[in-house]
Amino acid sequence: MSNSVAIVTGGSSGIGRAICIALASEGYQIVVVGLNLQRIKQTLSLLHCPEKHLGLPLDVTQEQDMEQMANEAATAFGRIDLLIASAGVGRSVNLKRFMPYPTTVLPLSEWNTILNVNLKGVFLSNRAVLPQMMHQGWGHIINICSSTTPRGLRGEPYSPAYCASKFGVVGLTESLAQEVAPKGIRVQALFPGMVRTPMVAKTAIARRYGGNISAAELATSVLYLINEPPDTISIHPHVLPLASLRRS
């Protein structure tokens, strides 16, 4: 892993920050992507050898921003080995109501915000790094999805936008994985259960399902996927607390 290059969207907090820290400890050069420059700087300050890494305040929902992300990473480091698409939202920051909306009155703006970040953002970030990875003849993409229940990715009441966005990531990942595998590029989705993050803390509908996992524990699972033999692939691995299975 030494001197390999990883881009992490949503790297300025939560799951993305924990993944940045784990990858940097393994020798990766990290491109931290997020909306808030101050939080990006906080992530960079936590990384091993902070001077080796790059922070980019960019928006995953904007095509030109994602193209800039890939171009700056390739220019700075000469390669892109890994993309972790971890940017995501459970509700928009502009939502005034704390409790979730029934589908019949869900504001269209809320639907658009969640689908734009969680699905469109994954698509744009994945697509942006592919030209460089194809040129190299190798690459690895891991899309952070969701395990909404102890039984896996299932629809949950009062979460139509979130569930639709995460189901969409599954289809996107499966399609892209088959398309680019012949080019030496591995594409996977990782399905975490409830993770202790600032986003989860602010989501009224969040339930513990018998426990939760830390962002650092999830980052360990990312390292496991990266270290798989290059001629194998784990299909939709779930990361759940053991207690959730005891209650399912």
Annotated domain spans of the chain: 5-247
Per the DSSP assignment, residues forming a β-bridge with 82 are 6, 140
What's the confidence (pLDDT) of residue 205?
A: 46
Q: How far is CA 63 from the centre of its chain?
A: 17
Mind listing the pLDDT tens digit for each residue in 10-62? Answer: 999 999 999 999 999 999 999 999 999 999 999 999 998 889 999 999 999 99
Using CB atoms within 10 Å of the CB of residue 31, give its burial: 0 to 12 exposed, 13 to 18 middle, 19+ buried.
Answer: buried
What's the confidence (pLDDT) of residue 170?
A: 93
Residue 208, pLDDT above cutoff 80:
no
**Alpha-carbon gap, residue 38 to 126, rounded angstroms:** 25
pLDDT band with cut points at 50, 70 and 90 for residue 209: very low
Nearest to 167 by CA among 220, 222, 238, 119: 119
Residue 224, pLDDT above cutoff 80:
yes
Residue 197, pLDDT above cutoff 60:
no
Residue 210, pLDDT above cutoff 50:
no
What's the confidence (pLDDT) of residue 206?
A: 46
What's the confidence (pLDDT) of residue 159?
A: 82
Using CB atoms within 10 Å of the CB of residue 109, give its burial: 0 to 12 exposed, 13 to 18 middle, 19+ buried.
Answer: exposed
Mind listing the pLDDT tens digit for each residue in 80-106? Answer: 999 999 999 877 655 555 567 789 988
Higher pLDDT, 85 or 198: 85
Could you list the active site residues? 162
In whole numbers, what is the pLDDT of the chain averaged over residues?
A: 86
Protein fold of 5-247: Rossmann fold (3.40.50)
Query: What integer is the mean pLDDT of 119-128?
Result: 98
